[in-house]
Structure formats: structure tokens, C-alpha cells
Amino acid sequence: MDRKISIVLAGLGGQGVITATNILGKAAVNANINVYASEIHGMAQRGCSVICTVRMGNVSGPLLATGTADAMLCTEPIEALRYIQYANKKTKIITDVTPVIPFTVSIGLQEYPDIEYVFEEIRSYAKLYTLDALKISKNAGAPISKNIVMLGALAASGVLPFPSNVLLETILDTVPQKYKEINKKAFEEGLKAFQPYKPIKIKRRK
């Protein structure tokens, strides 16, 4: 494959960002595509910021320059904005709509920005796609499958250089047997849920 594809995955510790990165890398290998993946910032503890990169095709390393991401997959809205420097006007940013309220906000020391403001800021830099991945994962049978819902949305975006069934098969080969059906449903529902952001009032959920 002559072209280069660069994907940024961002979220919080415990949301499965690193697992999703590993699955993407394995899927590229299964599709016989050259791939590099990296965890740029490690998670010091659960709830801390995590960012990973996956680069496929005619590339020689996992790191990407500012403004060169083809897609950003984010499991928390603020994390999409935190790493917006990797985006450009053509970048597809896919994020869950559900904010994770930090402890400092819960006790009144800080404020979480209005979610619509966050989305409007992201839209000024890139193409924004949103989905309620947490709700979808709960309906699939396990909130922990939110990262798989997000991978389903990424598969629907048209960014990946291999078909969605390659990614699904990789997921099913990776997860334990007893969670295969849940993850299959999570992925398929994520595929269906991919759509451009529409400005609407979103209620915060703690």
C-alpha cells in the first residue's frame, strides 16, 4: 500500500484505548498491511490521559507530525480537544458524547466546559462525528465494550485500508470466548451509529 494512514486514539486510563490500539495493529497485520503503533503518553493511573497512534501503509515509524492525522478516535470529548493539534480540516474526529467528570469538578474546584462548546471548538478544526458509545456498550451487554463500539464507528468512517470484517474478526480472535457475542454486537452497533455531529443539547451523565 503506497499511501499513508495515521490514526490517533485518545481517552482516559481504563477506557480501553491501548486495547483498541493493539486490535487495530493486529487487524492491519492480518490484512498484510505495514503498521506501526505507539503509546505516546502512558497512563500513570486510572482516569489519566492516554494517547496512542497507529500508522499504516508506506510509513517507517509510529509518530506523526502536527496536523497530519487522518482520523482521531476519542473515548472522551475533552481528550479530543486536548490533542486537536494532530487534526486538520480533513481529519475525521470520532468521539463519544459522554463526558467523564473529574474529581476536581465533582468537589467544585473546577468546571467541566459546556459539552456543546467543546464540540463546536472541535468542529472549527476538523470534521466531527459523535455517538453515544457508552449507552451502546451498555445495551450490548457491558460498558467495558465502549472501545469496541468506537472501533465499529472507525470502521464505518472509510479511513481504514481494510474491510470492517477484518477488524471484527481480529476483535473476536482477541477477546475471551464468553465476551465474543457482546463485542460483536458492540462493534456492529458502532458501525450503525457513525454519523456527523448535529448540534443538540446533551445532558451530562456522571
Q: Is residue 202 part of a domain?
A: no
206 located within any domain: no
- Asked if the structure places residue 204 within a domain, the reply is no
On whether the CB atoms of residues 5 and 73 are closer than 8 A, the answer is no
> What interhelical angle do 180-193 and 133-140 show, nearest 10?
140
pLDDT of 103 reads 66
CA distances from 184 to 146, 149, 168 (A): 12, 9, 7
The whole-number pLDDT of residue 196 equals 95
What's the pLDDT score for residue 206? Answer: 44
- CATH code assigned at 16: 3.40.920.10
Q: Looking at residue 68, what is its pLDDT?
A: 98
Q: Is residue 130 part of a domain?
A: yes
Residue 23 lies in a domain: yes
Q: Which pLDDT score is estimated for 205?
A: 44
What are the distances in angstroms from CA 83 to CA 59, 111, 137?
21, 20, 24
Question: Is 199 a member of any domain?
Answer: no
Instruction: Report if residue 203 sits inside a domain.
Output: no
Length of the chain: 206
State which residues of the chain have pLDDT below 50: 44, 202, 204-206
Instruction: Give per-residue pLDDT as tens, 125-158.
Output: 999 999 999 999 999 999 999 999 999 999 999 9
**Domain total of the chain:** 1
Domain that holds residue 18: 4-193
Beta bridge partners of 95: 74, 130
Residue 164: count of CB within 10 angstroms of its CB: 18
Q: What is the pLDDT of residue 51?
A: 94
Q: Tell me what pLDDT residue 45 has.
A: 56
Q: Are 197 and 123 in contact (CB under 8 A)?
A: yes
